[in-house]
C-alpha cells in the first residue's frame, strides 16, 4: 500500500527518502519500521544536510583520546589520570513552544550525554538568544527559559558557571537555547555507548515511558514550524530529582566495572539509543516494548520506540552482572528493567510481547542519506559589505553613548540571569560568572584548573558567514586564554535556518569552513557538537548563529585571571592591533544601538589571534597580570569600563588612542584584542613580552580613583557606569 503524504509529513521524510527505504529493504516498511527510519533519518539524528560539511572540522589533537562522532562526546586528556568530556546542544524549538520545560529538559539532556560517558558532570554553561525585551512575548520566553534552566540545574547539583545572553529582532519567536555540559572522567572510567557482546542485556533505567516528546527529533527539531499550540505535546516535561539520583546510580554502576556500555535516551528515545549502540558494536538487537514500563495505557510499539520521555538511561550488561547492577539501582530507588538483548546478526527486531512489530537491518537504519545541495551566496551580502558607514557622531556624545552601551541588554551585566543559577556547588568555581572572560574551575584532584567559555555572534556571521564563523571560535578561545588557560578543544552548536534553501546552505557551508580554519590556526580540535537547523518563523531564518564552547587548561590554578581591575595605580595596556576606521565598526553593537544599522564586513587575522592568545597565556603563567579582558561587544571603551566597574577601580586614559574615527577607536569591534592591567613595575616586561610575541601593545593609562576618564572624550563617575552596567538588564526587563 503506498504511504500517504500525510504520514510522510508527520515523520518528516520525503517521498524520495521513502522510495529509498523501500529499495533498501526490498519491501514496504510497516508503520513501526517507518517510524524508526523517520527518527534515525531526521536531521537531528542523521545529520543529513550537515554531516558532509562537518567533516571539515579538525577532530584530532595530542590530548584527544576519543574523537568527535565516535561516542556521545570527545574525550580530552588533562593529565593526572583525568580527562574532560564536554558537549553543547540546542533545545531551541521546545523552548519556543514551552520555555520552562523546553530549557529545563535541554539541560537534562546534555547532562545525560556527559553522564553516558561515565563522567561526573561538573559544570553547565548556556548560550541564549531572544528577541528584544520590549515585547511581552520575548520577556515571557526569556523569563521562562531562565527559570527552566534554574529549576533544573539547581536541583541536580551541577553548577551553572557561565554563558551568554544576547538579544536581536531576528530571534523573536525563535529563541536559541544552547546548553553545554562539562564532565570530569578518571582514566579507566570511560564508558562506551556500544553493544558489542551478543547475549548481553539492555536495561532501561529511570523514568517510565509516556507519550511525551513523540516526534521531537523528526518534528520539532527537523523542520520549521508556525503552529506552536499544536506542537505542545511534543515538548517533554523534566523531573530533575530523578535525574539527580540517576546520575548517582549510573556513575556508581559505571565505576563498578559491571557495565558493557551505557547510553542516554535523547532525541528519538529508545530508537536512536538502542540502534546506535548496536551499530557501534556491530551487533543486532531484540527489544520487547511490552517490557518497557509505561506512564500511560494503550501505548503502541511505535509510541514506545519514539517517546522522548526524560530521565532515562540505557545500560548494556552481561547477564551474570545483572543482579549486582540491580543492587546499585535499588539502593538509589531508581527503576531498572530488562527490555531486550544484544544479538549477533545485525538485525533490529522489535517485539510487542510475542508479536514481531518491526524487523530491519541496523546498518540500513542508521545510514541516513546525505545531501550536499549546494549553496548560493545571498545577495544581501554585497549590499551590506559596501554600505557606507554613518559618519561619526559628535564626540561630545561619547560619555552618553558609553553609558547607553553598558546598559544595553547585550552588553549589560547578566547578574539577573546567573544569580538564579547555583554556580558554586561542587566547590570548584574560582572565577565566577560575570567576574572574568571565562569561568575557572579548580580540579581538586590535581593542582590544575579548567577555563570554560561559550561564545557566538550571529550578527557577524550574518554579515560574513566565513569570517563570522572563524570569529566565534576565536572569541571563545580568546576568552579562555584571557583567563590564563591554554585552549584545549571546542564544542559547537550550529543554529541555522532551513538548509534546503540555497542561501542558508551557503551560510552553513561557509561558516563551518571559517570555524574549521580558525580551529586549525588556534590548534583546537572540535570534540563534539550539535546541529540545529530549521530555525525559522514565518519563513525567515534567524541569524546564522554558531555557538562555540571552549575548554582551556591552566597548569596552575593559582594563575587564573579575572577581568576586573584589581589595584589602584596598575598600568592598563591594550594588546593587539586596534584600527580606528570604518571597517572596525562592522557589525558592532555601537552601530546597532546608536545608528540602528547592521552593516559592514568583519575581518579577522587568525595568525594575529593565535599570537595574542599565546601571549595572554604566557603572561598569566609568568604572573605578570592583575586582570585580562578581551575587547568584544562595545569595543575598547566598554572593555575598559567593564574592567573598571567589576573591580570598583576607576581609570584615567593617557590620551594615546588609535588615530582615526573617535567612535571606531572607542566602540569598534576589531577582534584579537585584550585589555590587561599589571603592576606599574611590570609594565615594561609586559611590553617586552608583547614585542617578542609579535603583538602590538599600547599603554592606555592607569587604573585608580572613582572616575572613568578618556581625555577629551569621556569623563564619567564610576558609580554612574556601574549603575548602567549592573542595572541595564533588569531595567530592560521591567520597562
Partner 1 sequence: MTASYGVIVFPGTWSDADWRDAIEGVLGAHTEYVFHKETDVSRFDCLVIPGGFSYGDYLRPGAIARFSPVMRALSEFAAAGGPVIGSCNGFQVLCESGLLPGALMRNASLEFRCQPQHLKVERVAAPFTSLMREGEVLAIPVSHGDGNYYADAETLTRIEANGQIAFRYCDEAGAVTLEANPNGSLDNIAGVTNEAGNVLGLMPHPERVVEEALGGTDGLRILLSIDEALHERSHSVSA
- Residue 54 neighbours by CB distance under 10 Å: 20
Strands 261-264 and 160-167, sheet pairing: unpaired
Question: CA angle, 529 as apex, 248 and 546 as ends, to 5°?
Answer: 130
Active-site annotation holds for 44:
yes
In terms of CB distance, is 240 or 301 closer to partner 1? 240
Active-site annotation holds for 91:
yes
Round to whole Å and give the CA distance between 633 and 411. Answer: 6
Helix (H) or strand (E) holding 316: strand 312-317
In terms of CB distance, is 53 or 440 closer to partner 1? 440
CB of 230 to partner 1, least distance (A): 31
In terms of CB distance, is 154 or 272 closer to partner 1? 154
SS3 620: helix
Please choose, from the candidates 110, 197, 151, the residue with its C-alpha nearest in 3D space to the C-alpha of residue 547: 110
In terms of CB distance, is 372 or 415 closer to partner 1? 415
Question: For the chain, how many residues are written?
Answer: 735
Round to whole Å and give the CA distance between 116 and 277. Answer: 12
Round to whole Å and give the CA distance between 484 and 439. Answer: 11
CB of 155 to partner 1, least distance (A): 5
Cβ proximity of 340 and 287 under 8 Å: yes
Round to whole Å and give the CA distance between 85 and 69. Answer: 13
E strands, 383-525, are 429-431, 439-442, 449-455, 486-495
Helix (H) or strand (E) holding 85: strand 82-90
Please choose, from the candidates 438, 436, 431, 434, the residue with its C-alpha nearest in 3D space to the C-alpha of residue 414: 434
Cell numbers placing 625: 597580570
Q: Identify the active-site residue in 49, 91, 423, 629.
A: 91
User: Which residue ranges make up the site for partner 1 (CB under 8 A)?
Assistant: 147, 150-151, 154-157, 239-242, 244-245, 248, 331-333, 418-427, 429-430, 432, 442, 444, 557-558
CB of 421 to partner 1, least distance (A): 6
- Indicate which residues carry an active-site annotation: 44, 91
Amino acid at each position: 500500500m503506498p504511504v500517504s503524504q500525510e504520514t510522510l509529513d508527520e515523520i518528516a521524510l520525503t517521498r524520495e527518502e521513502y522510495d529509498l527505504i523501500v529499495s533498501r529493504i526490498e519491501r514496504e516498511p510497516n508503520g513501526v519500521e517507518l517510524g524508526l527510519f523517520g527518527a534515525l533519518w531526521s536531521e537531528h539524528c542523521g545529520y543529513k544536510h550537515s554531516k558532509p560539511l562537518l567533516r571539515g572540522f579538525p577532530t584530532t589533537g595530542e590530548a584527544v583520546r576519543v574523537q568527535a562522532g565516535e561516542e556521545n562526546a570527545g574525550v580530552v586528556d588533562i593529565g593526572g589520570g583525568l580527562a574532560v568530556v564536554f558537549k553543547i546542544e540546542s533545545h531551541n524549538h521546545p523552548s519556543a513552544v514551552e520555555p520552562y520545560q523546553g530549557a529545563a529538559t535541554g539541560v537534562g539532556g546534555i547532562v545525560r550525554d556527559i553522564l553516558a560517558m561515565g563522567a561526573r558532570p561538573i559544570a553547565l554553561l548556556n548560550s541564549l538568544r531572544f528577541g528584544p525585551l520590549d515585547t511581552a512575548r520575548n520577556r515571557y520566553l526569556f523569563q521562562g527559559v531562565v527559570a527552566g534552566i534554574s529549576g533544573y540545574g539547581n536541583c541536580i547539583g551541577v553548577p551553572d558557571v557561565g554563558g551568554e545572553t544576547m538579544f536581536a529582532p531576528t530571534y523573536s519567536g525563535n529563541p536559541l537555547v544552547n546548553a553545554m555540559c562539562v564532565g570530569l572522567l578518571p582514566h579507566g572510567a570511560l564508558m562506551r555507548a556500544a553493544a558489542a557482546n551478543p547475549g548481553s542485556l539492555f536495561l532501561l533505567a529511570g523514568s517510565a515511558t509516556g507519550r511525551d516528546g513523540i516526534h521531537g527529533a523528526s518534528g520539532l527539531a527537523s523542520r520549521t514550524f508556525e503552529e506552536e499550540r499544536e506542537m505542545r505535546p511534543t515538548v517533554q516535561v523534566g523531573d530533575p530529582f530523578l535525574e539527580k539520583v540517576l546520575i548517582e546510580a549510573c556513575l556508581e554502576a559505571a565505576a563498578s566495572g559491571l557495565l558493557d556500555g551505557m547510553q542516554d535516551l535523547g532525541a528519538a528515545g529508545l530508537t536512536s539509543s538502542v540502534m546506535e549502540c548496536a551499530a557501534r558494536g556491530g551487533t543486532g538487537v531484540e527489544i520487547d516494548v511490552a517490557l518497557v514500563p509505561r506512564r500511560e495505557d494503550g501505548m503502541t510499539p511505535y509510541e514506545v520506540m519514539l517517546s522522548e520521555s526524560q530521565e532515562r538511561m540505557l545500560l548494556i550488561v552481561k547477564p551474570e552482572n545483572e543482579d549486582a547492577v540491580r543492587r546499585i539501582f535499588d539502593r538509589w530507588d531508581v527503576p531498572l528493567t530488562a527490555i531486550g538483548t544484544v544479538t549477533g546478526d545485525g538485525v533490529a527486531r522489535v517485539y510487542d510481547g510475542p508479536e514481531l512489530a518491526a524487523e530491519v537491518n541496523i546498518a540500513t537504519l542508521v545510514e541516513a542519506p546525505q545531501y550536499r545541495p549546494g549553496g548560493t551566496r545571498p545577495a544581501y551580502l554585497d549590499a551590506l559589505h559596501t554600505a557606507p558607514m554613518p559618519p561619526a557622531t559628535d564626540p561630545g556624545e561619547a560619555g552618553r553613548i558609553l553609558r547607553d552601551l553598558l546598559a544595553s541588554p547585550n552588553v549589560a551585566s547578566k547578574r539577573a540571569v546567573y544569580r538564579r543559577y547555583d554556580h558554586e556547588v561542587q566547590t570548584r568555581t574560582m572565577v565566577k560568572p560575570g567576574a572574568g572572560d571565562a569561568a575557572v574551575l579548580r580540579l581538586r584532584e590535581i593542582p590544575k584548573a579548567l577555563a570554560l567559555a561559550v561564545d557566538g555572534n550571529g550578527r557577524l556571521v550574518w554579515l560574513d558567514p566565513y569570517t563570522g564563523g572563524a570569529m566565534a571560535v576565536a572569541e571563545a578561545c580568546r576568552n579562555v586564554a584571557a583567563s590564563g588557560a591554554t585552549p584545549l578543544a571546542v564544542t559547537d552548536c550550529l543554529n541555522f535556518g532551513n538548509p534546503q534553501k540555497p542561501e542558508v546552505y551557503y551560510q552553513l557551508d561557509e561558516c563551518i569552513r571559517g570555524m574549521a580554519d580558525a580551529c586549525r590556526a588556534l590548534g583546537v580540535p572540535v570534540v563534539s557538537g550539535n546541529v540545529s537547523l530549521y530555525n525559522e518563523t514565518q519563513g525567515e531564518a534567524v541569524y546564522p548563529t554558531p555557538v562555540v564552547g571552549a575548554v582551556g587548561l591552566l597548569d596552575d590554578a593559582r594563575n587564573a585571571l579575572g577581568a576586573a581591575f584589581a589595584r589602584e595605580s596598575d598600568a592598563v595596556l591594550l594588546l593587539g592591533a586596534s584600527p580606528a576606521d570604518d571597517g572596525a565598526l562592522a557589525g558592532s553593537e555601537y552601530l546597532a544601538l546608536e545608528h540602528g544599522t547592521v552593516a559592514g564586513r568583519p575581518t579577522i587575522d587568525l595568525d594575529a589571534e593565535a599570537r595574542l592568545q599565546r601571549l595572554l597565556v604566557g603572561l598569566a603563567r609568568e604572573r605578570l597580570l592583575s586582570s585580562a579582558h578581551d575587547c568584544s561587544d562595545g569595543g575598547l571603551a566598554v572593555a575598559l569600563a567593564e574592567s573598571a566597574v567589576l573591580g570598583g577601580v576607576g581609570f584615567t586614559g593617557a590620551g594615546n588612542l588609535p588615530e582615526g574615527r573617535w567612535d571606531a577607536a572607542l566602540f569598534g569591534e576589531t577582534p584579537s584584542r585584550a585589555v590587561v592591567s599589571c603592576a606599574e613595575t611590570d609594565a615594561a616586561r609586559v611590553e617586552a613580552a608583547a614585542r617578542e610575541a609579535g603583538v602590538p601593545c599600547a599603554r592606555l593609562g592607569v587604573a585608580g580613583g572613582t572616575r572613568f576618564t578618556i581625555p577629551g572624550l569621556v569623563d564619567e563617575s564610576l558609580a554612574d557606569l556601574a549603575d548602567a552596567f549592573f542595572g541595564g538588564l533588569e531595567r530592560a526587563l521591567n520597562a
